[in-house]
Structure 1
Amino acid sequence: MSELPTFKSPKGITARKLLDKDGLVLMNLLFKPGEVLEMHTTPQNVVFYVVNGEGTITIGDEESKVKKDELVYSPKGIPHGLKAAGGQEFHVLVWKLPTV
């Protein structure tokens, strides 16, 4: 994964695209300490997996502090956002699941 090229996502977060096939998108988001992905909605269900570091994932009105190896699910159409904790990088795998 670390050998794939990085780019800035449309929301300004450094990312790697791991897979984009048949409606399934898998991204690796690489947050700098304290970096924020503002609340937004997607038309797909999304699963977040914390690869490294600690941060906060907000789904609707629920805010969860997360750390390495934790999973969080976000239903389609529900606002969600992420924030890296201060002092460390926060790496998250993001699965955007195909809609049926």
Structure 2
Amino acid sequence: MKIIDVESEPIHKNPHGVDARRIYNRDHGQAIHIELNTGQSLNKHITPVDVFFYVLEGTATVEIGDEIQEVEQDHLVESPAKIPHRVMNISNSKVRFLVVKMPRPAEPTKIL
């Protein structure tokens, strides 16, 4: 059994400049733990594979294509491949969420 302590994982350098920790990285999928402080957001980007966001803490504002919606703790949002998307924290408290990509992308994410 392998157990990952998220807080012990290094922050992965990323184009969004946020606290992102890769906690699972296999050919069939990838999971990244992201923490956004108030006012932080992911840059709008396109991933080459399907993604879902699972909110662990707080209320995130998620933009996928032309849709924008607030998403609370314990909610999951699907984001299809090749559709522009981003997650923002416009609340007064931190937001923590998982990003799960399936399968693990063979191409890089495209920042818009």
TM-score normalised to structure 1 length: 0.90
Cα distance in 2 for partners of 1:10, 1:23 equals 23
Aligned residue identity for 1:42: T
Cα distance in 1 for partners of 2:9, 2:45 equals 26
Aligned residue number for residue 7 of structure 1: 12
Aligned residue number for residue 47 of structure 2: 42
Cα distance in 2 for partners of 1:95, 1:65 equals 19
Cα distance in 2 for partners of 1:2, 1:53 equals 18
Aligned residue identity for 1:97: M
Q: Is 1:22 the equivalent of 2:27?
A: yes
TM-superposed deviation, 1:23: 4.0
What is the identity percentage for the equivalent residue pairs of Structure 1 and Structure 2?
35
Moved over 6 A (4+): none
Aligned residue number for residue 92 of structure 2: 87
Post-superposition CA distance 1:30-71 (Å, at most 9, x none)? 101111112110001000000001120011001110110000
Q: Is 1:63 the equivalent of 2:94?
A: no
Structure 2: where are the runs of 5+ without partners? 1-5, 105-112
Structure 1: where are the runs of 5+ without partners? none
Counterpart secondary structure, 1:2: helix
Q: Is 1:53 the equivalent of 2:54?
A: no
TM-score normalised to structure 2 length: 0.81
| Count of aligned pairs | 99
Q: Is 1:33 the equivalent of 2:38?
A: yes
Q: Which protein shows a greater Rg?
A: 2
Bigger strand fraction: 1
